[in-house]
Structure 1
């Protein structure tokens, strides 16, 4: 087993460290990472085991429900701590990866908030992770710039920029380029710690603070872990408790039954909840995967007007406003359509309708995936939300959501066209992801890991239960595999033999085929893809060791 490339601050780094990376990977910063990893990695593993145990109960026929042991929290009269001034108005938020051009454009975009993303729209290559941290380091200090080919230079504008809320990776993801005591560091701790260590005090000097989005949680105990990490991190750096603010994404079905508890666990550090609609749909399929009565229709037909999504989003609003904090709406995956004015206007109309529903329901802000949609979303929210938010004006006490409302299966047909689109999107997204890109425009939509997961899990579900499609035929493994090959052949023709040969189409199709033909729905598409990514990233000798760590060539 080959040694790590460097031991820094109690951390073993199993990847190259070029000189520019040393601005981020300082001994002090990595000591901070190591301390948090030693303190909290066992709890991450314990919580992941609790997830597996609960899913086993769901597979055996149990259904998600409100927890009897936390009834006193749901019925209690409490509120979260007051919000800082720069988080009071969050009417339009843009999300995206942390590459240098994206960071500059997003901060300049006119959005209220920019969420630099180390999770669903990021492929966690070593280069992406550390360059992303460097880009945010420079952005916080307003020194970031980019000289692009052709002579164009990107830099931050004068005056107000979007407020940054960084999204670290979820608890299920590990940073295998870095180990502490022979064990990979939880990806969320790695992302959070480096950003916090380098930028928290500078952000406070800027009149802002260290703000975060927290993804993929399934239990309030996972929020409690984040809160403990926040408290310890602030103590270590001599920063007042409550300086960190975090918005939790409600993007798993179990989390929908613990909204009050999420806010309560983070009440000193809470900046509200967000409706992570795409992951929520995926989680619905995954959580209820053993129930043949819960089969989804075509992905494109599962709109926010479906009753289970209406119940979920309105419950988020009611819960947040009761506790004195923001309820942020979901992502519009639509992007501007170049070269087709009619299609572009149709896309903009869909965005307007989506954002109008959100603001009139009572949301305090919304997400877009493309800068071109910020004016559209902002126009709708400006018209219907004249104040900074709707926390006190729309309490939504009229909303009463029962368990079955959240578990109602969406309705609609299952078509051959949607099946082929799901296959095509999954292969193309995985191909891009294996090439280092976690955010891909496909078919006039911005696809990330969450939207790709809906495609992948829908194919698995339809195949597992032999769904009958619109052509009257039941779906079989032979037919799915034939369509995978047909889509692969089509992509070869589309991109050409040279691009196909140098790309990652074959491993992408292999991963997808393996996952949809599995008897069990695997938890996340990116987990087997990450193992391939890490194994190939720095050459053929770079692979997983027996302890789960990673070794690289010297």
Structure 2
């Protein structure tokens, strides 16, 4: 990427606090690189975001998502494949986790999440880049002030995969010519700029997880960003490798196309199950026939989720790419052996379903789940992956749009959704993007399911099976207020002033989002300005 592509002088400004140990991250060279990325690609990003809005209007008017006629040639061409994975990514087994070899746990791949599990306060995003810088060089270390225990990396470390924020988010603390820059480009740009050469010395390259894309054109934008970035620093195209999270219903109809656009950089697709459910409800929000049951009834065995998995595995393996499974959200249940065994049984069943479906690896939310997941994958997939197995597939557009019919809407489900959303938004406002709740790990994706379900129920006045009453906006407002008062009282009693303030603001934000006449696209977009103000 040559600076000549920038038609105006760049005024790149950092509006957040820059501490001494941030200066090497926010160096003049890095800021110039960010400015060039912004100037080169911001107009395209905004155009693609506008296309999302236009497409949603079509869905609201009754048009179904479907396979694109103009890209049928990509789907029909059996010859093309993605670039083969590099040696250090042949074995993906467990992401965000550990693999057991010879009785010793050693890392395979680890996803550093700058997206759904991170509250993007300025401190978090900059410290995250500092940690990535140190981890790439093997120097990251930590000593607990409470216990004095020291932590450092082993000689053999995981392959690091970085998940930047999605195309829809801004980074308010950095502006280019007065405009906020893309959070995705900020996260990608700093990590790539500072670490590509260190990874090259190790025989590796920068690896990314790309979230929340809604079309192959958004994948094309990423691919062009990769090419421009590689050209700018003078490394070979294809050095960057990326896995696309398949977590929107519209992207499900463009799996081949997304792989095709990223084919020189692609290492496959990942079933982003929780965001996919969120997207399904959000895109179908205007349709009474698409009202969904309580969240607990929408799992991977629902027909539309089975179809999504079947198509993803078939598409990836047909193109020589990894098909990664989804995250098991369970976490250990201490001091209750019965509940602990129930949780582990759920993980075992989930991972068995994934490996038998053809997945090449999976995710877990907690290190204690590694052994459970690895036992299943080692037994049923002793080789590094099963890309060579292309299962048959007969998935249709109707299969991908089949509304879950098992299960009902209940008052308990309504209260649980409200509680999850309140607790998560309060934590997010306080700088924590991932919280344990009801023996599961909740992040932005699961909170989004809770939010859009309640909005959908109120919009269509869905009837709760246990009470026979309809969910209305007035009922939701009252329930959110009542639960918010409860959480605030608990915070007040504990003397936690920050938690009290966060719940007070979260109660207002959640109440407004769940009862707004028009559904907000992302809760993080609504809440973001409040952490910018706090910063």
**Normalised by the size of structure 2, how large is the TM-score?**
0.94
> Equivalent residue of 1:454, what SS?
helix
Residues 151-187 of structure 1: per-residue CA shift (max 9 Å, x gap)? 4344334332221110000000000100011111100
Equivalent residue for 2:287? 291
Equivalent residue for 1:368? 364
- CA offset at residue 418 of structure 1? 0.9
Out of 82, 85, 95, the position equivalent to 2:84 is 82
Sort the Cα spacing of 1:155 and 1:500 in 2 relative to 1 into closer, same or farther, 3 A. closer
> Equivalent residue of 2:289, what SS?
coil
Alignment: residue pair count? 517
- CA offset at residue 252 of structure 1? 0.3
Residues 54-74 of structure 1: per-residue CA shift (max 9 Å, x gap)? 111111110000000000000
Equivalent residue for 1:465? 460
**Separation in 1, partners of 2:126, 2:105:** 24
Residues 495-523 of structure 1: per-residue CA shift (max 9 Å, x gap)? 44354643200110100000111111110
Equivalent residue for 2:5? none
Equivalent residue for 1:513? 511
State whether structure 2 residue 187 is matched by structure 1 residue 191: yes
Sort the Cα spacing of 1:501 and 1:152 in 2 relative to 1 into closer, same or farther, 3 A. closer
- CA offset at residue 263 of structure 1? 0.3
Residues 342-367 of structure 1: per-residue CA shift (max 9 Å, x gap)? 10111010000000000011000001
> Equivalent residue of 2:95, what SS?
strand
1:33–1:193 contact (8 Å) kept in structure 2: yes
Out of 306, 313, 319, the position equivalent to 1:317 is 313
Structure 2 residue runs of 5 or longer lacking an equivalent are 1-8, 99-103
> Equivalent residue of 2:186, what SS?
helix
2:172–2:180 contact (8 Å) kept in structure 1: yes
1:167–1:212 contact (8 Å) kept in structure 2: yes
Equivalent residue for 1:402? 396
State whether structure 2 residue 52 is matched by structure 1 residue 51: yes
**Separation in 2, partners of 1:477, 1:240:** 55
Out of 435, 439, 444, the position equivalent to 1:449 is 444
- CA offset at residue 477 of structure 1? 2.1
Structure-to-structure mapping, 1:340-355, within 5 angstroms: 340-355=336-351
Equivalent residue for 1:5? none
Sort the Cα spacing of 1:434 and 1:340 in 2 relative to 1 into closer, same or farther, 3 A. same
State whether structure 2 residue 146 is matched by structure 1 residue 145: no
**Separation in 1, partners of 2:51, 2:268:** 25
- CA offset at residue 489 of structure 1? 3.0
Structure 1 residue runs of 5 or longer lacking an equivalent are 1-7, 96-101, 103-107, 538-554
Structure-to-structure mapping, 1:481-492, within 5 angstroms: 481-492=477-488
**Separation in 1, partners of 2:312, 2:107:** 22
Equivalent residue for 1:532? 530
**Separation in 1, partners of 2:472, 2:397:** 33
State whether structure 2 residue 60 is matched by structure 1 residue 66: no
Equivalent residue for 1:114? 110
**Separation in 2, partners of 1:444, 1:489:** 23
State whether structure 2 residue 442 is matched by structure 1 residue 426: no
**Separation in 1, partners of 2:451, 2:205:** 38
Moved more, 145-154 or 399-408: 145-154
Sort the Cα spacing of 1:12 and 1:157 in 2 relative to 1 into closer, same or farther, 3 A. closer
Equivalent residue for 2:432? 437
**Separation in 2, partners of 1:265, 1:288:** 27
> Equivalent residue of 1:217, what SS?
coil
State whether structure 2 residue 144 is matched by structure 1 residue 182: no
Equivalent residue for 2:33? 32
Residues 210-235 of structure 1: per-residue CA shift (max 9 Å, x gap)? 00000000010000000001001001
> Equivalent residue of 2:139, what SS?
coil
**Separation in 1, partners of 2:119, 2:264:** 32
2:247–2:273 contact (8 Å) kept in structure 1: yes
2:454–2:514 contact (8 Å) kept in structure 1: yes
**Separation in 2, partners of 1:487, 1:523:** 24
1:110–1:374 contact (8 Å) kept in structure 2: no
1:94–1:111 contact (8 Å) kept in structure 2: no
**Normalised by the size of structure 1, how large is the TM-score?**
0.91
Equivalent residue for 1:549? none
Moved more, 154-163 or 356-365: 154-163
**Separation in 1, partners of 2:400, 2:259:** 19
Moved more, 170-179 or 147-156: 147-156
Equivalent residue for 2:22? 21
Equivalent residue for 1:242? 238
State whether structure 2 residue 173 is matched by structure 1 residue 171: no
Moved more, 488-497 or 197-206: 488-497
Equivalent residue for 1:259? 255
- CA offset at residue 109 of structure 1? 6.6
> Equivalent residue of 2:203, what SS?
coil
2:16–2:122 contact (8 Å) kept in structure 1: yes
**Separation in 2, partners of 1:165, 1:109:** 19
- CA offset at residue 255 of structure 1? 0.2
> Equivalent residue of 1:293, what SS?
helix
**Separation in 2, partners of 1:30, 1:501:** 37
